[in-house]
Amino acid sequence: MSDATILSVRDMRVHFQVKAKSRLPWAPSRTLKAVDGVSFDLRAGETLGVVGESGCGKSTLSRAILNLIPATHGEIVWMGATLTQASAREWHAVRADVQMIFQDPLASLDPRMTIGQIIAEPLMEHRPGMSRKDIDARVRAMMAKVGLREQMINRYPHEFSGGQCQRIGIARALIVEPKLVICDEPVSALDVSIQAQIVNLLKALQAEMKLSLIFIAHDLAVVRHISDRVMVMYLGRVMELADKHALYDTPRHPYTRALLSAVPVPAPSIERGKVVQILSGDIPSPMNPPAGCVFHTRCPMAEARCSQEVPELRALDQGSSAACFFA
């Protein structure tokens, strides 16, 4: 892993206008704050894990980084170039270096195309000067790297298992040799044994191809295995950002501690004596987030100040940062 920063995201906000459920055409719309002020840096060769409950804005953040969803506010700096006002042509060039692996392996593949055509498509888009022979050779080599037999090249996605479909998606993302791959919950739809295979494959390919990864997941055990640093999100905001060892050994934010307490321990004697911190209440609606700290309505440490002031993500020791007055 290098110290060079390849991606910087500053104060990213993604807000949607949601029409009120009313038959009156003049009923005012409401603002849904899916991502609300997220900032982080990503170094070359690093894996940043992004975790949080469903609806916290993880996937929206990943799509906004790629401009698949327009950001309401914020700055994206890729390899020193600011992309805030980038044209469609400039984004097209960036997407050769930044690829994405999606959550649903089968739904992300075109059922009308063979896997050879699916894997070759990014090359045809971003490397128009390559000959058909060179493309075919590159596709077959990439299939071998991700564990797919060459004889499968003319088969269709519905003929493969979920794990095999995800290998196809990985091959499609890596065929253009990107610098960054955003993995949007790539193993959540797979069996546990297949999850381990896919995660180990990603780690091996990362080392071989010198990739940077943003790895989004719910499973904190998977995130710990693959990540160098971990960012914890809640209701569109960053609660904690730290090196994985610091975060898992000494979590600073009460939300992080609650998440980690729910992770099963594969030792019955420890699991029986473990105290799980159960958070009270449901996650507030992103259309009506709480004032002050968005977590204060469920936080066991909350005081009056928490409902009035928004805690900034501040640096602590050991390279950790937390958005909590008591961290």
Q: pLDDT tens across 247-277, in order?
A: 999 999 999 998 888 777 666 666 566 666 7
208 shares its domain with 163: no
Q: Is residue 26 part of a domain?
A: no
Q: Is the pLDDT of residue 198 over 80?
A: yes
- What is the structure's pLDDT at 271? 59
Q: Does residue 85 sit in the same domain as residue 123?
A: no
Picking from 71-85, 184-198, 273-287, 288-302, which range would have the lowest pLDDT averaged per residue?
Answer: 273-287
Q: Which two tokens stand for residue 18?
A: 């949601």
Q: d(Cα 246, Cα 256) in Å, to the nearest integer?
A: 12
**One domain, residues 45 and 125:** no
Q: How confident is the model at residue 159 (pLDDT cuts 50, 70, 90)?
A: very high
CATH for 93: 3.40.50.300
pLDDT of residue 327: 85
Is residue 86 pLDDT above 90, yes or no? no
**R_g over Cα of the chain:** 21
Residues 69 and 189 in one domain: yes
Return the amino acid letter for 89: R
- The pLDDT, as a whole number, for residue 278 is 74
- Would the CA dihedral through 60, 78, 36, 218 be positive or negative? positive
| Per-residue confidence band for 187, with pLDDT thresholds at 50, 70 and 90 | confident
Domain boundary among 121, 146, 175: 175
Same domain, 198 and 142: no
* 106 located within any domain: no
What is the average per-residue pLDDT within 225-232?
94
Written as one string, the DSSP assignment of 131-175 is: -HHHHHHHHHHHHHHTT--GGGTT--GGGS-HHHHHHHHHHHHHT
Last residue of a domain, one of 122, 143, 175: 175
At 204, give phi and psi (nearest 5°): -65, -45
- 141 in the same domain as 234: no
| The 3-state secondary structure of 284-322, one letter per residue | CCCCCCCCCCCCCCCCCCCCHHHHCCCCCCEECHHHCEE
Q: Does residue 25 lie in a domain region?
A: no
Instruction: Report if residue 67 sits inside a domain.
Output: yes
Mean pLDDT of the chain: 90
46 vs 107, which has greater pLDDT?
46
**What Å distances lie between residue 204 and 103, 108, 198, 199, 283, CA to CA?**
20, 23, 10, 9, 37
Q: Decide the pairing of beta strands 47-51 and 212-216.
A: parallel
Question: Environment class of residue 273 by beta-carbon count within 10 Å: exposed (0-12), middle (13-18) or buried (19+)?
Answer: exposed
| Whether residue 315 sits in one domain with residue 243 | yes
- Note down the domain range covering 307: 5-17+31-97+178-322
Looking at the fold, whether 85 and 210 belong to one and the same domain comes out as yes
Question: 92 and 69, same structural domain?
Answer: yes
Tell me the C-alpha distance between 81 and 8, whole Å: 10
Q: Which of 151, 175, 199 is the last residue of a domain?
A: 175
Please give the pLDDT value at position 18: 85
Q: Is the pLDDT of residue 1 over 80?
A: no
CA distance 325 to 11: 20
Looking at the fold, whether 155 and 276 belong to one and the same domain comes out as no
User: Do 282 and 307 belong together in one domain?
Assistant: yes
Q: Kindly tell me if the per-residue pLDDT of 323 is higher than 70.
A: yes
Number of domains in the chain: 2
Same domain as 143, residue 237: no
Categorize the per-residue pLDDT at 243 as very low, low, confident or very high, splitting at 50, 70 and 90.
very high
